Structure 1
């Protein structure tokens, strides 16, 4: 879409807003049609995610799935990780609490598999702070809002917009929008709790506990509510499930992922043959005799583990003589806990014309992960250029009191602090007994505060009786703390290896059962403390209403400006910022801030309607929306990049159509809908941070100039890019929703969608930068004397493209047993919801071909993880007949299905398929609804029907106001039993293992779309007073 077209669209929408206003002030727009098939009945208008214009239509132009509390429970969901795993639209590599290695306990959605940063998460229709550091600091594509910080008892409902929405919400709304609406109105008291465990399946004993309290009061003008929630979950270890119990996955058709970095091992290259040999200290020897033999090949205390002469019976007590099986020690699903408190206040000051509101939420969460014991790679001694001196293991000076050899095989080079020191290279060690596993403990503290005023404008005259406005402020902040134990300090290790005192020196020659002295351990191992913070102040003004009448109804609009100030800082431990650790990612501290100003405008144009139409166009309307945002951002200076300031703007439109060709009385309600939109994603603040992160290439890099020796280690510094441009997307969708006359309460829908995402910000292969050195002259750093490449700076670049498309489908059928004329036996509800991913093409850079990824599990690419063609769930539930003791029953089952797809890891010895995964969840609940006492009087301020049909005039109609049960008295058994709900449930009834995935990073399965939890039972009890 060209700039001129956007400008014209802007002028057209603006003119449509304000041009007719003065001429039509005396003309009253007629009420918006809200027919339900009954004369005189008007449906309350509500704002639905994807538009800021209130509507009474049950089916709009945008494809939206709504999940209320009961829908979430029927999915078999107990936490936000469960929710993402079970949503059909969730694909690719997401972030959740199944991930121990690389996870921090956050749960961040990834709709369509386009990386979490392309999915916008809103809370009550407004933005919130993304995670403070952690994944956002080192993997920008996974930065996002942590939905785990919003407990389910606080949620009223969740809208999932399965379409682009940058024209409404601005940046990030590329793959879709997840809008989480909190509760704001509640009367009475609810106390609840649940307990669950995996001990009826194969995952041993791992409990999950949650308790909450909801209290609310109010009258016709005031609502006050408070919610408190606490959650605790025990760990499931990799050893608890067969599929993840051993890192040797040969039996499953995968790899042996056990590590060869073991204590008591020395790597040597034969100077004559060039063979690479691994020598292992014989079992039973704690430490070799110091300075006893020239080199390892001559030392009888060592054996060549690949030599035919090695007895096959030589094994360590755990049976892993050759390799270290870390899966026997690490958690698959780490332990976690969370505490939250939330309060909401609403007060009508001048009836519906002026209302004040305020909300506050605080959540603390803790995630207790652990990784394999630290392997001693790379070397603590460095080359002058910064890369490790020993290509394998660490270098140990001959002066070390535990060195068993008398002849060095290398000397530390000039230009280093310890130049000229003779060393033994290739010494392997792992902190198996010194510290055990590395601990990674992450704590989040999240704050959200809302305040504002809103109202209707009818007091200014009948023309404005349908106009609404809201002026508000939000402040949200996410603080993250990360403590990583068992990490090695290179400085401490160098000093301890150079030490000649046996009491304080470090011994890297220990055998499998050896342990260093406490003094040596204290010098070498450190606990790193890193913090990060993201804060987001946001101010906005919204206004909507009817501008003037058309024959089919009023032309409606919504508009408003918005400001947000994004502030992000990352403060790694000083050991990290000096690039001086082993067993931890080293990166620099950074500060990034950005100011964003935006304005949106939207119109809905009715062409025909049920009250004014012609054949073939029973109801037809068009929607036009546009948003423009202006960005001004600043980044701090680092060793890689200087301080930067940049500005840019983005202006994106959206067009929609909703068409009902025929009167519903003929064939039922058929709604055709479609959208075209242009979306964008402004670089996240972690995307543009200039902080460098140290790494080394996983494969050998080639220097086209021939100045760098082959197999020479080249240091890689990955960094953000302050000069990144926004990503842009061109999207369209079209579909139909049909409810036939001849089958009552059946609704069928299907929507085809297409996303063409361009200029994706991502890291590229370092070889690409070397091959195009003329385009990146400052990113290829060479030795000033030899010209050899020593460092490659790898910044984020706008080079990648992805084209994704598929089909969303849903069927809902509600069967009332009374239609058979044999009495009322209750109501049956059947639901089918799924997605078919037909296309996912990835282009790494402009000079490469597109690669098809759909139906596979790609690894090593920007988009990785499971991309199956088919994901779906189907459920069947029965609700007991009304006006009987069976009315409280809600019983059913849900089946979750992920189809078969390819294991696309190119390192696999042969092609293999990942089998489909089907799980069954069952749930049964009963709510006691005792008959009211005789002559019971209505309680002022409470809904007669339990709140199911409560409507408020402020656009928050979906919040319910439950019925009080206090009329039974506080001590009678009726009062205690009435309003009590007991729920029994079981996830994965058949205890099915997730399918094995050879390309998975850990545990042998895809942690984004599956879980190793297995059969999980739970009991929930809640009581409303």
Structure 2
């Protein structure tokens, strides 16, 4: 699937690179002109040769053969990119719902720098105060407008910025397009849901070579119906005892479960009669039924326009505008809460609330209020303008731009805490019935709105060229400078920030900005005829600190068939704005392990309800990292190529929150208002050492009876993902724990003959221990099995201008393997499987694409 930059193939490089407008130096007149290209990982343009860094290139043709209709679905076919798909699977995460991100090397999403056409983009306007989700939302880029994606996997801090710890992913959009093309897609699961409808239109006119200008544009529309949990057997009930798991149904039942007012624990006695089939220790409510989705719907529109003008043969100006809007609707069950209700039975008297005589405390759910609903509108606008030119001695370019991410969440069927408490405490509302005065119920409701805006403004410039001819070749250089200013404004409703919205969690606001400056220099030094080195240095200045990030790389062409490459990079990542200047956020959790219960002084299987509190820390330091790579590239014969790369990342001062268990062990909790509050505030307490291997192999058989047959296999294998919680503690292995599988693999096969192309893919993910607690040996008690999906696609282009594509994803209708950890822990989706997968099942699609002549 990936195009590996191959020294033997000019065609692959031409497909993968950006053609330079200047001449290639060192060629004599009459020789074939090999254009120099720029590949992510270096600012120096070069001819057809692979550099010191491993770079995967996913071309437009590769993308089409995956059958993906969104960037988030595409990454499931890219073995080197980590998957954790909570944003598409759930609607109850205020920051993550509806969003998706890139992640590499087992590190958090904010460790991967995402570029759009080589330039920075604004991150998602909503992210947690922990920093989780502080990255570009890849759902804002229409897939049909992408020309290719370049994945630099050895860290890019010395060239692109100090925060490119895990690597750089550069999304290159279409430009300089001529003609008109229209595309329509329809797809649906074999169960009749998850319907996808997509339409795209692109066009362009003008030729830079003859007309001295080009205007290109495109529009992409994508709509997807949701999958409801009730419509898949695995997710149809949160009672997972049928799989040997726990009963994960909520203890906040409509009929109410009595709570001890002294410590908030359940006394295993119901307030009103429990419906048949709903009682298990206490009355249960099955939240996986009815309105909650197993895969979110989507309503997306995106447009791209570019214009280029060739002022002179060596001077070009350009403008790029990318605009997109995503609309989502998330529904949740009616409000769960603690209520004071009148004592109706003598057996309830021992649990009388001393602060409200004549009442007891129950955990209930107010069904009369209706489902909680969130309408989310996400807008992204990215504008860039610049000029670039060439002379006999150098290439140069200057660009300025702005990226703006805006999100608005509007919520319905929530309640004002002050009015709500007064109504429920006095008995004006009976939360266990649906016959309360509807006018009075409506008078208690609020419609909180959360609005966020993230802005990145930048100006950058760089110059590259040749320095001098050395005995082994040409010494080349690049220098550049950049200034960017980022601002984050996150304004939850005033009631949200105070924690006074019943049915929602407390959400932290933020209003902060900073300016970052950076300069870099890079040299490509030919040490020998067959030994090239890359030396780069970047200095970044943040308001609170500055640091220099070096990079050193070597590439040795041992013979025409074997190349050895290696690199060393240092990086530092400053805390994101909300980690420094945000407030505190709360998330509802359940204390359900015996160890956690004991730490709170409660009996085993206590099921205590708690809030996990995360908060910013203005005294956080930057995270520091060192990255090592060693690789081997093989081209043993025509049409056969392979590469294997070993990598290691050592990261210290990692910003992290203690886990719930660790916070309890450290005494970071308190009990108030009928709940435990577990404090997991941010600290520079963690160290990480991640090691792994990437493999990419391809073999091509032209001229067979089946046409040109191609096989390719890509693998990312994690040797270890070790984590140290704090100074003095040992490094502990996290690989093979929950949602951290040891390997991902994609095997692809295709054959092309005449107008027909048939392709298939087998996408596999390793199993893992069914526990997120890597500190406990209990993680070895159960394992989630490996998982794979098979895709098939057929393309026919035998009619002039028309391409017909039909395909089936997940041909064998595989469902994800069951996970007790997911089913039992409210931190996760509680659908019974890790967020590495989805429960869509078999999916069939048809695409028609017509290029107007």
Q: TM-score range by the shorter chain?
A: 0.7 to 0.9
Say if 1:32 and 1:553, in contact at 8 Å, map to a contact too: no
For 1:586 and 1:683, locate their aligned partners in 2 and report how far apart those are by CA, in whole Å: 22
Alignment correspondent of 1:891: 758
Deviation at 1:33, TM superposition (A): 6.0
Change (3 A) 1:600 1:451: same
Aligned to 1:71, what secondary structure does the other structure show? helix
Alignment correspondent of 1:521: 441
The match for 1:545 among 452, 465, 470 is 465
Matched, 1:740 2:633: no
Matched, 1:878 2:762: no
For 1:868 and 1:792, locate their aligned partners in 2 and report how far apart those are by CA, in whole Å: 28
Say if 2:329 and 2:374, in contact at 8 Å, map to a contact too: yes
Say if 2:655 and 2:683, in contact at 8 Å, map to a contact too: yes
Aligned to 2:455, what secondary structure does the other structure show? strand
For 2:589 and 2:100, locate their aligned partners in 1 and report how far apart those are by CA, in whole Å: 29
Q: How does 1:491-640 map to 2 (within 5 A)?
A: 491-498=418-425, 505-510=428-433, 514-609=434-529, 619-632=530-543
Alignment correspondent of 1:719: 615
Matched, 1:846 2:727: yes
Long gaps (5+) in structure 2: 1-21, 594-599, 823-827
**Number of equivalenced pairs:** 804
Deviation at 1:341, TM superposition (A): 1.3
Deviation at 1:696, TM superposition (A): 7.6
For 1:491 and 1:904, locate their aligned partners in 2 and report how far apart those are by CA, in whole Å: 39
Say if 1:596 and 1:631, in contact at 8 Å, map to a contact too: yes
Deviates more, 1:427-436 or 1:548-557: 427-436
Change (3 A) 1:790 1:833: closer
Aligned to 1:795, what secondary structure does the other structure show? coil
**TM-score, scaled relative to structure 1:** 0.74
Aligned to 2:369, what secondary structure does the other structure show? coil
Matched, 1:649 2:546: yes
Alignment correspondent of 1:920: 790
Once the two structures are superposed, what CA deviation does each residue of 1:705-749 show, in whole Å capped at 9, x if it has no partner? xxx9989999875311122111111110101111113xx210011
Change (3 A) 1:423 1:63: farther
Aligned to 1:141, what secondary structure does the other structure show? coil
Matched, 1:469 2:365: no
Deviation at 1:515, TM superposition (A): 4.4
Deviation at 1:1015, TM superposition (A): 0.6
Change (3 A) 1:767 1:555: same
Matched, 1:730 2:626: yes
The match for 1:983 among 779, 802, 805 is 805
CA RMSD of aligned residues (A): 3.3
Alignment correspondent of 1:954: none
Q: How does 1:957-972 map to 2 (within 5 A)?
A: none
Say if 1:34 and 1:56, in contact at 8 Å, map to a contact too: no
Higher strand content, 1 or 2: 2
Deviation at 1:700, TM superposition (A): 11
Say if 2:124 and 2:136, in contact at 8 Å, map to a contact too: yes
Alignment correspondent of 1:1022: 849
Alignment correspondent of 1:106: 99
Alignment correspondent of 1:815: 701
Say if 1:769 and 1:794, in contact at 8 Å, map to a contact too: yes
Change (3 A) 1:797 1:166: same
For 2:633 and 2:122, locate their aligned partners in 1 and report how far apart those are by CA, in whole Å: 35
Alignment correspondent of 2:656: 762
Change (3 A) 1:826 1:328: same
Alignment correspondent of 1:87: 78
Say if 1:806 and 1:837, in contact at 8 Å, map to a contact too: yes
Say if 1:33 and 1:553, in contact at 8 Å, map to a contact too: no
Deviation at 1:487, TM superposition (A): 2.6
For 1:765 and 1:686, locate their aligned partners in 2 and report how far apart those are by CA, in whole Å: 20
Alignment correspondent of 1:428: 363
Aligned to 1:496, what secondary structure does the other structure show? helix
Alignment correspondent of 2:116: 123
Once the two structures are superposed, what CA deviation does each residue of 1:188-215 show, in whole Å capped at 9, x if it has no partner? 10011100000x2xx4322101101101
Say if 1:94 and 1:109, in contact at 8 Å, map to a contact too: no
For 2:670 and 2:352, locate their aligned partners in 1 and report how far apart those are by CA, in whole Å: 26
Matched, 1:350 2:312: yes
Alignment correspondent of 1:332: 294
Alignment correspondent of 1:168: 159
Alignment correspondent of 2:50: 59
The match for 2:573 among 681, 692, 700 is 681
Long gaps (5+) in structure 1: 1-28, 285-313, 377-392, 414-420, 459-463, 610-618, 633-646, 702-707, 774-778, 784-788, 819-823, 858-865, 881-885, 929-976
Change (3 A) 1:113 1:597: same
Deviation at 1:328, TM superposition (A): 1.3
Change (3 A) 1:85 1:432: farther
Change (3 A) 1:404 1:486: farther
Say if 2:229 and 2:236, in contact at 8 Å, map to a contact too: yes
Alignment correspondent of 1:5: none
Deviation at 1:830, TM superposition (A): 1.1
Deviation at 1:171, TM superposition (A): 3.0
Aligned to 2:234, what secondary structure does the other structure show? helix
For 2:715 and 2:538, locate their aligned partners in 1 and report how far apart those are by CA, in whole Å: 31
Say if 2:806 and 2:847, in contact at 8 Å, map to a contact too: yes
Say if 1:94 and 1:115, in contact at 8 Å, map to a contact too: no
Alignment correspondent of 2:556: 659
Once the two structures are superposed, what CA deviation does each residue of 1:836-883 show, in whole Å capped at 9, x if it has no partner? 1111111111133222111221xxxxxxxx221221111111111xxx
Deviation at 1:905, TM superposition (A): 4.8
Once the two structures are superposed, what CA deviation does each residue of 1:85-111 show, in whole Å capped at 9, x if it has no partner? 232123364554233332421110121
Say if 2:23 and 2:35, in contact at 8 Å, map to a contact too: no
Aligned to 1:326, what secondary structure does the other structure show? coil
Alignment correspondent of 1:217: 205
Aligned to 1:229, what secondary structure does the other structure show? strand
The match for 1:835 among 711, 716, 720 is 716
Change (3 A) 1:269 1:147: closer
Deviation at 1:153, TM superposition (A): 1.4
Alignment correspondent of 2:820: 998
Aligned to 1:73, what secondary structure does the other structure show? helix
For 2:27 and 2:236, locate their aligned partners in 1 and report how far apart those are by CA, in whole Å: 59
Once the two structures are superposed, what CA deviation does each residue of 1:146-165 show, in whole Å capped at 9, x if it has no partner? 11111111100001111111
Matched, 1:191 2:174: no
Q: Which has the larger radius of gyration?
A: 1
Say if 1:472 and 1:541, in contact at 8 Å, map to a contact too: yes
Say if 2:590 and 2:610, in contact at 8 Å, map to a contact too: no
Matched, 1:444 2:378: yes
For 1:802 and 1:909, locate their aligned partners in 2 and report how far apart those are by CA, in whole Å: 20
For 1:394 and 1:533, locate their aligned partners in 2 and report how far apart those are by CA, in whole Å: 36
Deviates more, 1:869-878 or 1:71-80: 71-80
Deviation at 1:589, TM superposition (A): 2.3
**TM-score, scaled relative to structure 2:** 0.88
For 1:753 and 1:655, locate their aligned partners in 2 and report how far apart those are by CA, in whole Å: 14
Change (3 A) 1:109 1:362: same
For 2:592 and 2:289, locate their aligned partners in 1 and report how far apart those are by CA, in whole Å: 32
Once the two structures are superposed, what CA deviation does each residue of 1:977-1012 show, in whole Å capped at 9, x if it has no partner? 521111001100111111112222225455542121
Say if 1:546 and 1:554, in contact at 8 Å, map to a contact too: yes
Aligned to 1:49, what secondary structure does the other structure show? coil
Aligned to 1:55, what secondary structure does the other structure show? coil
Deviates more, 1:651-660 or 1:86-95: 86-95
Aligned to 2:89, what secondary structure does the other structure show? coil
For 2:350 and 2:281, locate their aligned partners in 1 and report how far apart those are by CA, in whole Å: 30
Q: How does 1:310-325 map to 2 (within 5 A)?
A: 314-315=276-277, 322-325=283-286
Change (3 A) 1:407 1:95: closer
